[in-house]
A and B are shown apart, each in its own frame.
Chain A
């Protein structure tokens, strides 16, 4: 059998297994003692009867494995249960928010990916000279700051001081695409800065790695122009690592969204999750955790698959 389909199937199976294990961990993570969900909801002063009633109504008297599988199978069918805090259906609450979150992440990705690759190329082109050092210094600073603080700095400058964009990112279905873009301008900018540093540095490293290969010297000694050399010899080998870098950073971006949404009061999944953590609304936290983990694992899996598909040794076996 050709090694590629075999490897791809293996990786997909592994990804599914990982996802399954992750769901177990998210479920188990909410059962770490002391206390249980009922205790968490009712507080330390609840009477034993109230606790028992609560447990029964939550199904906590069932064994953990039974609860896990019924949770998992309903989740697979799109039924994420109801929120403890307000009794609403979680799936329908999440749907619109997930869309908003993905919209924000997509806008940030559309800006950050091309920018990071461009800056990475620039840093390689002017390696160890001032553009490279400047880019390094800026990226070092931006990874030294937590996302939420970067958010407030940006908000303070662009919204409060210069009045360019709204400080609160309200978004609703009635808005046009441009209005929506305007609304997410600041959070998208922050997210871009957050992932830009890593993505740029990793891109730089990936290209440098390729440029230092012996076959680049071979091409140079054939008298090729710098541009031809990069386009014909460096790029085909650098694309896979760069795509890999992009995927890993997109996964990171999806997590960064959580905090940024809180800063800009953006009606997405992240804010929904954080709100319900404070309310100790376990079913919502589990559902959101599962969705974030799925996206994260999925993007990492994609990165893996791309590097398999682009490996010439695997594409053209002996």
Chain B
């Protein structure tokens, strides 16, 4: 653990807690997800740590289960966008020429329509289920990953050490996995963090707009939607997901920042 700054350690720790809570949701949640346990919008008490929601369900329970859904969907969408985006991005960079041109132009085209608008257009005809959401989010976001991984790989691909490997007669597999990938890892890890945060924000937004996670399932965006009327009466139940989202994104950001700094230090670290 030497050399990891405290901020990154803290980020790792909190991110870990969130994932742990998501995994262990059924065991740590005090009540059932749909169980009505009290009055509507009760304030926090020793019985209901975060109070109750618009139907009298325990908010802590809803937050834990909602976090499970949010984190699951965001992780899967990130996995889709990352696998697809980085594989295609590397392919475009290494093959170059026409392949690269076609792939890059198609990518530009998809990126020319704002992600949210495109998602709304597609979701207006698709059945809104979790696999569909994961796919739509993952595919749309893979354009960003494609752009970054292609740029990183193109930068590395023109380095003399890659040319040296080609002149030696190495195949594309060695070039990609042994020469390019180890040098591209740090920026990609940092990007992974950013894409994950974006996926959290995106699924929350979709659920809030009513075209994400559908009841009786819930997620953090859904909790806001359910409790939004409370705001005007001064009941802050809808703001609780904000705290969760901010804490999680800042934690992931701290880790991503550290990963990114490691990249720059490697480039500058010639001879120390």
Contacts and interface: CB of A to CB of B under 8 A. Distances in A.
Interface of A: 18, 21-22, 25-26, 29-32, 34-37, 40, 140-141, 144-150, 152-153, 155-156, 159-161, 167, 251-252, 254-255, 258-259, 262-263, 273-274, 276-278, 280-282, 285-286, 288-289, 292-293, 296-297, 300
B81 interface: no
A32 B231 contact: no
Contacts of B238: 152
Contacts of B113: 22, 25-26, 289, 293, 296
Nearest to A18: B112
A289 B118 CA distance: 7
Interface in B23-79: none
Interface stretch (B166-174, B205-213, B258-266): B205-213
B201 interface: yes
From DSSP, what is the main secondary structure of chain A's interface residues? helix
B5 to A, nearest CB: 15
B123 interface: yes
Contact of A144 (B117, B120, B210, B245): B245
B239 A140 contact: no
Given A146-B221, A152-B238, A160-B231, A259 B120 contact: no
Contacts of A160: 231-234
A282 B124 contact: yes
Contact of B205 (A31, A141, A147, A288): A147
Given A156-B239, A274-B209, A293-B117, A32 B125 contact: yes
A286 B118 CA distance: 10
B109 A144 contact: no
B116 A259 contact: yes
Contacts of B109: 18, 21-22, 25
Interface stretch (B14-22, B143-151, B177-185, B246-254): B246-254
A22 B112 contact: yes
Contacts of B125: 30-32, 35-37, 40, 280, 282
Contacts of A300: 112
A252 B115 CA distance: 10
Contacts of B241: 149
Contact of B208 (A18, A148, A155, A289): A148
A115 B124 CA distance: 37
B126 interface: yes
Interface in B218-272: 221, 224, 228, 231-234, 236, 238-239, 241-242, 245-246, 249-250, 253
B127 A34 contact: yes
13 contacts: A26-B118, A32-B125, A32-B126, A156-B231, A161-B234, A258-B116, A274-B209, A280-B124, A282-B125, A285-B121, A289-B117, A292-B117, A300-B112
B121 A146 contact: no
A15 to B, nearest CB: 9
Nearest to B110: A25
A285 B124 contact: yes
Interface of B: 108-110, 112-114, 116-118, 120-127, 197, 201, 204-205, 208-211, 221, 224, 228, 231-234, 236, 238-239, 241-242, 245-246, 249-250, 253
A202 to B, nearest CB: 15
A276 B124 CA distance: 8
A72 B97 CA distance: 33
A274 B221 CA distance: 15
A273 B120 contact: yes
Nearest to B250: A144
Contacts of A278: 209-211
Most buried by B among A30, A148, A160, A276: A148
When A and B form their complex, which 6 residue pairs have the shortest distance between CB atoms, in order from nearest? A144-B249, A255-B114, A149-B242, A146-B201, A285-B124, A277-B124
Contacts of A276: 124
Contacts of B228: 152, 263
Contacts of A263: 228
A167 B234 CA distance: 11
A156 B108 CA distance: 39
A133 B118 CA distance: 36
Contact of B124 (A21, A30, A159): A30
A153 B239 contact: yes
A155 B234 CA distance: 10
A254 B117 CA distance: 11
B124 A292 contact: no
A155 B229 CA distance: 12
Contacts of B118: 25-26, 29, 289
Contacts of A286: 121
Given A145-B249, A147-B205, A149-B204, 8 more contacts: A25-B118, A156-B236, A252-B114, A274-B211, A276-B124, A277-B120, A278-B211, A289-B117
